[in-house]
Amino acid sequence: MIIHSDWHIHSEYSYDALNPLSLIAENAKEQGLRFVGITDHLNYNDGKFWRDLRASAEGVREAQKKYPFMMLGVELTPIAKPQFDYIKRTGTRLGYEAPTEGFPFAIALAASKEELTALGVRYVIGASHWRVDCPGASSLPVDRDACIGEWYRQQMYLANDERVTILGHPWYHGKGIWYENFDVIPQGMKDDLAAALKENGKYVECNAHFFQTAKATETFRHQYAKYLRGMFEMGIPVTYGSDAHNGYADDRPIVEKYLSAAGFRDGDIVGIDEKDLW
């Protein structure tokens, strides 16, 4: 096996997942994993997401009594700064209306490092999921070039933010609009992102999604594995994330097939070094 730990897993405490911590831990033991990281979402700074994260933190603390190999992390995603400010002021997303000027909006994350460490969070996965650059971005018709530019902007923000430990699923897109050929992402953007990750001592994630989704072609999967290999050869450490939400099966064999073809060997996919944990 090439992969020995999983740093991106969602539990029943995440709004979009069902996995009990006990199921994750027992399956991880059967799979021979050394560490598993619970990274439930904190998408917004409103009450519901904070309640979910507090429940996740408490659940992990309790589970660690039996499963000491379980680690508490969190997944943060970029949001528009005007929306962050509105939620901070009102405590809710209800009633928010995006400004009609001043875009592309500045980017924010839902929590400070101090707020997260107070809950016992040890690391952050920072990952782009949607456009936040202009009013109504989530409902706009899909524009591949606009999305590429926005993902680049968000990922560069994450690569330069001191809260982020791992850049999660780089170049993920829910609709898979560039999953036929990874070469549509400009090489300059890939190079800029890799340089920022290296300069700031970040990890980059090998996410199982890219090697399992039916939206990705075989060409794309091999290109993506080579992309990760290129960052590894630059000295950027690569972690693995199953990104499991419902059920916790062993996805490593299919992922490792592509990683091996790209040149990865045992020892190349790493865990988070103790010095990089909070």
CA distance 155 to 158: 5
| Residue found by looking up tokens 């080579």 in the block | 226
CATH of the domain at 56: 3.20.20.140
The total of structural domains in the chain comes to: 1
Closest Cα partner for 67 from 59, 76, 79, 75? 59
Q: Which run of H or of E encompasses 167?
A: strand 166-167
**CA-CA-CA-CA torsion sign (110, 119, 37, 194):** positive
> Could you give the angle at which helices 47-63 and 21-31 cross, rounded to 10 degrees?
50
pLDDT of residue 138: 82
CA distance 46 to 51: 9
Closest Cα partner for 238 from 193, 272, 188? 272
Phi, psi of 126, rounded to the nearest 5 degrees:
-105, 125
- Cα 80 to the chain's mean position, in Å? 18
- pLDDT by 10s per residue, the chain, length 278: 999 999 999 999 999 999 999 999 999 999 999 999 999 999 999 999 999 999 999 999 999 999 999 999 999 999 999 999 999 999 999 999 999 999 999 999 999 999 999 999 999 999 999 999 999 988 899 999 999 999 999 999 999 999 999 999 999 999 999 999 999 999 999 999 999 999 999 999 999 999 999 999 999 999 999 999 999 999 999 999 999 999 999 999 999 999 999 999 999 999 999 999 99
- Helix boundaries (H) for 131-271: 144-159, 187-199, 209-212, 218-233, 252-261
Domain, as residue range, for 136:
5-276
pLDDT of residue 139: 87
Provide the whole-model pTM.
Answer: 0.98
